[in-house]
Amino acid sequence: MGERVIPLTDWRRAVSAPTIRAGSALPEGLLADTLGRPLRDLRISVTDRCNFRCSYCMPKEVFDTRYNFLPHAELLSFEEITRLAGLFGQLGARKIRLTGGEPLLRKHLENLVEMLAALRTPDGQALDLTLTTNGSLLTRKAAALKTAGLNRLTVSLDALDDAIFQRMNDVGFPVADVLAGIDKALEVGLGPIKVNMVVKRGVNDDQVLPMARHFRDHYGATVSLRFIEFMDVGATNGWRLDDVLPSSELLQRLQREWPLLPVTSGVAGETAERWAYADGRGEIGLISSVTKAFCRDCNRARLSTEGQLFLCLFGTHGHDLRALLRGGVSDADIMSTVAHIWAERTDRYSEIRGSASAPSSSERRVEMHYIGG
């Protein structure tokens, strides 16, 4: 009773080897897709495994002992990731986010961070290197990541109440250990830190005010809490619109407690709408992927754990860059292939969600832990 059906088709096969654009010249200037959006941000999933089973991402009923995670040989190696990241840097990417799955489960991740930190853009700049983690291994790993050259960090935490958090991560992981990880990261100099809270109505929406109060009172400007609307990614999380707490409603709840002032950053492609506490005790962010789509500015590409390039979090189809890496294709030809793929990009799923032209959840099987959140 109540068991979810495990998808029989493996959505990880929804990939194709791209046509290699050998010898074709790179487009002049910055890359732009069909909506004029540049390629600025590359998110890399370094593992499809996780030690949590958040119901909105990797529900236990699907991702259990029978689930076939990718074998090690299928993953991109650190050398392959670094080579691709360098080429994306040549094509305009300025920010790299390591994610997963739980990125800190990938052995010796600090070695990859060190390799990525050595990359330079055509104008000699280092890339902005950041990482999203559930925080469970942070007390052990924070110092090595900082030394290796990680610039910034996002930690996910969905509740302050232990019972609620443990129900959400579904492996009984305690809040205190995530908070200890955040403290350690701040201590080693990885601050200011972003904390991501996915809000599900009726599950953890009563944690919005306690979370805001906690981080405001104890951390001020060193932690910025960002509230994320529960999204319909993948095909396993049982998403319903009724479970989404719209950011507008969430903001009203916050404003009843504290005066907040809008912050205009001027940074294109920023996912969060920022609000500062009027008394100067830091700020919060609202990521309204469902109620206020930000596809117009979306400058993000995603590289799956096994080297498939996805152009949208809700993409149905990946482009097999690993085949190029392992097939002896030159840097110049990989760059020109990626440039052509980007130039043809039309994705804007959040804007068209619910319309007849949006892909259905059965077409949209690619899961977030695989292509990277």
Residue numbers of the site for ligand SF4 (CB under 6 A)? 50, 52-54, 57-58, 100-102, 134, 156, 294-295, 298, 300, 312-314, 347-350, 369
Q: Which is nearer to ligand SAM, 142 or 325 (CB)?
A: 142
Write down the least CB distance from residue 216 to ligand SAM, Å: 20
283's contact among ligand SAM, ligand SF4, none, with CB below 5 to 8 A by partner kind, is none
Write down the least CB distance from residue 360 to ligand SF4, Å: 15
Distance CA 247, CA 245 (A): 6
Residue 130 CB-half CA count within 13 A: 18
Write down the least CB distance from residue 199 to ligand SAM, Å: 9
Binding site for ligand SAM (CB under 6 A): 50, 56-57, 99-100, 102, 132-134, 156, 196, 198, 228, 230-231, 233, 237, 368-369, 373
58's contact among ligand SF4, ligand SAM, none, with CB below 5 to 8 A by partner kind, is ligand SF4
133's contact among ligand SF4, ligand SAM, none, with CB below 5 to 8 A by partner kind, is ligand SAM
Write down the least CB distance from residue 274 to ligand SAM, Å: 17
Which conformational region is residue 122 in: left (phi greater than 0), alpha (psi within -120 to 50 degrees), or beta?
alpha
Q: Which is nearer to ligand SF4, 54 or 81 (CB)?
A: 54
352's contact among ligand SF4, ligand SAM, none, with CB below 5 to 8 A by partner kind, is none
Both structure tokens of 168: 């959400």
Q: Which is nearer to ligand SAM, 86 or 100 (CB)?
A: 100
Q: Which is nearer to ligand SAM, 84 or 287 (CB)?
A: 287
44's contact among ligand SAM, ligand SF4, none, with CB below 5 to 8 A by partner kind, is none
Q: Which is nearer to ligand SF4, 48 or 110 (CB)?
A: 48
228's contact among ligand SAM, ligand SF4, none, with CB below 5 to 8 A by partner kind, is ligand SAM
Which residue number places its CB atom closest to ligand SAM?
373
Write down the least CB distance from residue 307 to ligand SAM, Å: 18
224's contact among ligand SAM, ligand SF4, none, with CB below 5 to 8 A by partner kind, is none
Q: Which is nearer to ligand SAM, 178 or 321 (CB)?
A: 178
Q: Which is nearer to ligand SF4, 9 or 346 (CB)?
A: 346
Q: Which is nearer to ligand SAM, 99 or 299 (CB)?
A: 99
Rg of the chain over all Cα atoms, to the nearest angstrom: 20
Bridge partners for 99 per DSSP: 45
Write down the least CB distance from residue 153 to ligand SF4, Å: 14
Taking CA atoms, 167 is separated from 159, 206, 268, 347, in Å, by: 10, 14, 36, 34
Residue 220 sits at φ, ψ, to 5 deg, of 55, -130
Write down the least CB distance from residue 22 to ligand SF4, Å: 29
230's contact among ligand SAM, ligand SF4, none, with CB below 5 to 8 A by partner kind, is ligand SAM
Write down the least CB distance from residue 191 to ligand SF4, Å: 21
Q: Do residues 160 and 207 make contact, with C-beta atoms less than 8 angstroms apart? A: yes
